[in-house]
Amino acid sequence: MVLINEKRLSVGSIQRKLKVAQSTVSQHLTALKNVGVLACDKDNNIRYYYILDKRVYKFLRCLETYTARGG
């Protein structure tokens, strides 16, 4: 859950942390942006994504607690 502790991350940063193809990360980020979960800022040629819907934080923390209990 290290990603949710960050304020905003570039596609490259997310890709390196998750160790998946950059195109996969970009596709998922675009989908999440299109449904209003994420937003992004552009700085030169780099897009920085951040969680727009703050309810996502609560959901992710619940999920983290559930999995920590062996659920």
Query: Rounded mean pLDDT of 35-49?
Result: 92
The residue extents of the domains of the chain are 2-68
- Enter the pTM of the model: 0.74
> CATH topology for 2-68?
Arc Repressor Mutant, subunit A (1.10.10)
Would you tell me how many other CB atoms lie within 10 Å of the CB of residue 39?
14
- Decide if 42 contacts 60 (C-beta within 8 A): no
Give residue-wise pLDDT tens across range 53-71: 888 888 888 888 888 888 6
Residue 2: its pLDDT value, please?
A: 52
pLDDT at 3 exceeding the cut of 90:
no
Q: For residue 57, what is the DSSP state?
A: H
Give residue-wise pLDDT tens across range 4-36: 666 889 999 999 988 999 999 999 999 999 999
